[in-house]
Chains A and B, each alone.
Chain A
Amino acid sequence: MRHDQWFGRRLDRRTLLRLAGGAVLAVPAASLLAGCGAGSDGGGGTSVTSTPDQATQSTGAEPRRGGTLRVALTGEPPNLDLHQTTDSIVLLVTGHVYETLFTWDERYEPVPMLAESHEVTDGGRRILVRLRQGVPFHNGEEMRAEDVIASIERWGRIVGLGQGLMAVTESLTAVDPYAVEFRLREPFGTFPTALSRALQGCAIYPKSVLERSDDTKLAEFVGTGPYRFVEWQPDRHILLERFDGYANPPGETNGYAGHKGQYLDEIEFIPVPNEASRVAGLRSGDYHYLETISTDHYPTLKDDPAVAVDMLPPDTWLNIVLNLRSPITSDLQIRRAIQLALDHEPILQAAFGEGFYELTPTLLPGAAAWYSDAGADRFNPRKPDEARRLLESSSYDGSPLRVLTTQEIQQEYNATVVFKQQLEQVGFTVDLQVYDGATLSDRRNDEEAWEAYTALASFRPDPVLRNLTCSATGWWCTPEKDELLAQLQTESDFEKRVEIWAQVQQRFYEEVPRLKIGDSRRILVRSPQLQGIGPTELQPDFSNAWLET
């Protein structure tokens, strides 16, 4: 049933995009694709695709075993502990080293990974997870229930979602060496979702390693994944090598799940902070894959035979977070005036460039099953006159709106500059404050320091993984919304969850805690030699990738 729903919704979304707002975008996008197709026919290495499947599947050639994949990173990961950080670079590296109990298939449904199965009984209050047997860690130990319990307990102390699960957990025990039982005070319908691959996901580490670790530091980087950690020389590289003892999951490759080919001998992650150097390194053949690259490089790279460029479907969105604890933006009328003042297209053009964005109201772009039109009438209203009138009748006294941004993420900065201009046109005074990344992170945690900031929100396959709780920066705290979020966590029926999520989205547009501006398309830039990259939304998986000669 869920598959049917998914396809049905996916069709709805596509139809909507094509027939409604998408029509505006379709013309330039189509001409772009047509133009690039011609470039590719001309003998170049460029392949421009519009779906992840086309972008990342093999060209039909037989996978080749061997070689070292060289991946240029935007910088150094803060650590290699998946529990610890929301930084996506950590998932990119460690996604090959650690595994979770569940992961995502190609439709972004949670499926077993280290778990063999799970059964829910007693009205959702008892969950029994059976583990796969004979799964070795990289240190030679076998993964057992005690490792799983130790990992979940640590993750439950550090990560918000884990804290949520542990708060309703009465007991967590090993029934036998390969089975773990959760006794819950109340149902936790999103159990497999919460324990799937994610930023700050619940990686399963050996208990013996956790005994030597604490909640801030992991003593060793040991997992059960297809590649094992070899060394980390800061500012030089992080080296992984094929784990010959890997216990391959049953079934064919399906999204992040199923069989792993392990064709590459080694994966080397090299920090190259300068973007121009990263691009030059790929063009000169020094790297095979670039972690993130601005779409500004698209025109120069698309005709370069040494580079393959895949255009990915939108999976990230640009949002402007408002501070609901500020004396100014705590006033709903002022927030509505901001909402009415904006014309989203110029902001998106400044941020991503023509052809690299879409205008949809969904808060989970890329996760088609969760698409909703709820609140769409308030999305991109473009009513500056109404905004001006509303502002004049509000409590706004002309105090400057402190808008934070950083030039380290150029897309955010460009968007913020246009946002500022649009606000000033309806009568706001705006104080644009530009900081370095670390200062910005610090400032936005201080509720007295700002009224708005721009942020890119990354892909989430399920709404419980999107943090819209009261504790998230911006402090959107209303009992009705919090109740809906709690229901999303406990409810297990998919249809009902989609309905609940639509209500959250409706409130999002009515209460204006943030402003969703639009979705961004990313480009995936690689060497034409590199084939078979898995899904990319939750960072690319190179477990089935290979290098052609």
Chain B
Amino acid sequence: MIAYVLRRILLLVPIALVVGTVAFLLLHVIPGDPAAVMLGPEATPEQVAALRERMGLDEPLAVQYPRWLARLARLDFGTSIFLDKPVTEAIRERVAPTTQLALYALLIAVAVGIPAGVVAALHQDRLLDRALMLFAISGTAIADFFLAILLILLFSVTLRWLPSGGYVEFSADPVGHFRSMVLPAMALGLSIAGLPARLVRSTLLEVLREDYIRTATAKGLDLEAVAFRHALRNALLPTVTVLGYVLGDLLGGAVVVETVFGLPGMGQLVVNSIARRDFPVIQGVVMVFAGIYLLCNLLVDVLYVYLDPRVRYAGG
């Protein structure tokens, strides 16, 4: 087991290197440069060229790439062109809103998705089942930015219960923090709640047909007790696995949701950095996102071994 984990960790290094190199090359192949963005729409080509030179952006790729690699080895992503601070610091400042958003969204997805799946399974093929599944699929089908706007129109513009955007730190004002995060977390959470709902429904239905469930029912236990006490625990295993992978969707969704709600997280950082061609920041965020994704996959695989003793890995 330990050898397996160590091998997987070592494998992360070449994967991260490939991801980083591809991102680096892509960024330098696409047109657009920070000097032109900085100078604004009415700058002349001469002004842009002069600023490029002053900023040292006109160096060839062959010079920039080895320097970037050497820095990467020290986990130094360089300095942001626009923010005028180290990329690691810029990312560190943005980690909290994104992590909180992902966490709250995951909680909403679980809190909505799992009960919906259980209720749907217990009412299989009846009206409630169909209604819940329609709700779950709608959440997944509607684009999260559209859902976000609908939520803003209802809760901010019409009812005026919650702010339409902005971010309040938990330490500064816990109530304000939750008020500022409810709508973004709902927009993101509801858009992925369909996945656990459908998964729990199908696996629960499968488990409910197992012999040991029949035995439990035959012993006189009612269906709800059997479902919650015996079946659900087993049905949740694949759901836990999938929720780990859902993190990728959460990060992708966070990029959009943060932009709509003006949350100063990593999603907005990367979107803005792409628009202004802040290469060091884009590379840094891509590396961090890739790292999170790889670590989550590793964690899920390890957790799987822990949760299901029947699973064994070659050499483990």
Contacts and interface: CB of A to CB of B under 8 A. Distances in A.
B37 A78 contact: yes
A86 B276 contact: no
A445 B36 contact: yes
A283 B149 CA distance: 13
A85 B40 contact: yes
Contact of A471 (B45, B51, B277): B45
B157 A235 contact: no
Interface in B216-274: 259-262, 264, 268-269, 271-272, 274
A20 interface: no
B41 A273 contact: no
Which label, helix, strand, loop or mixed, suits the secondary structure of the B interface? helix
A353 to B, nearest CB: 21
Nearest to A281: B164
Contacts of A381: none
Contact of A438 (B36, B261, B262): B36
A78 B46 contact: no
A270 B166 contact: yes
B60 interface: no
Contact of A236 (B54, B163, B264): B264
Contacts of A270: 165-166, 262
A280 B164 contact: yes
Contacts of B90: 234
A467 interface: yes
A244 interface: no
Contacts of B30: 439
Nearest to A233: B264
A280 B262 CA distance: 12
A280 B39 contact: no
A76 B84 CA distance: 14
A313 interface: no
A160 B48 CA distance: 12
Interface bracket on A: 35 or more
B31 A439 contact: yes
Given A78-B276, A236-B167, A438-B275, A443 B31 contact: yes
Nearest to A475: B45
A166 to B, nearest CB: 15
Interface string A66-91: 00000000011011000011111010
Contact of B149 (A271, A276, A473): A276
Given A273-B259, A285-B160, A441-B36, A280 B152 contact: yes
A233 B149 CA distance: 25
B188 to A, nearest CB: 15
Interface in A190-224: 199, 214-217
Interface in B143-161: 145, 149, 152-153, 156-157, 160
Nearest to B263: A235
A274 interface: yes
Contact of B153 (A78, A215, A271, A280): A280
Contacts of B45: 445, 447, 471, 473
B262 A84 contact: no
A27 B157 CA distance: 34
B37 A217 contact: no
Interface residues of B, number: 50
A442 B47 contact: no
A447 B268 CA distance: 33
A455 interface: yes
A410 interface: no
B260 A85 contact: no
A84 to B, nearest CB: 7
A78 B51 CA distance: 13
Given A233-B264, A280-B149, A280-B157, A438 B32 contact: yes
B83 interface: yes
Given A280-B152, A436-B32, A75 B166 contact: no
A277 interface: yes
A86 B42 contact: yes
Given A78-B37, A87-B41, A277 B32 contact: no
B38 interface: yes
Contacts of A85: 38-40, 43
B165 A281 contact: yes
Contact of B160 (A233, A274, A284): A284
Given A199-B42, A216-B55, A235-B94, 18 more contacts: A76-B272, A78-B38, A86-B41, A216-B51, A217-B84, A235-B262, A270-B165, A272-B262, A274-B262, A276-B260, A277-B261, A280-B149, A280-B156, A286-B163, A286-B165, A441-B37, A447-B45, A471-B44
30 contacts: A75-B272, A78-B37, A79-B82, A86-B39, A86-B41, A86-B43, A87-B39, A216-B54, A217-B84, A234-B83, A234-B264, A235-B262, A270-B166, A273-B259, A273-B268, A274-B260, A276-B149, A276-B152, A277-B149, A277-B152, A280-B152, A284-B160, A436-B32, A438-B31, A438-B33, A438-B36, A441-B37, A441-B41, A443-B31, A457-B42
Interface of A: 75-76, 78-79, 84-88, 90, 158, 160, 199, 214-217, 233-236, 270-274, 276-277, 280-281, 283-286, 435-439, 441-443, 445, 447, 455, 457-458, 467, 469, 471-473
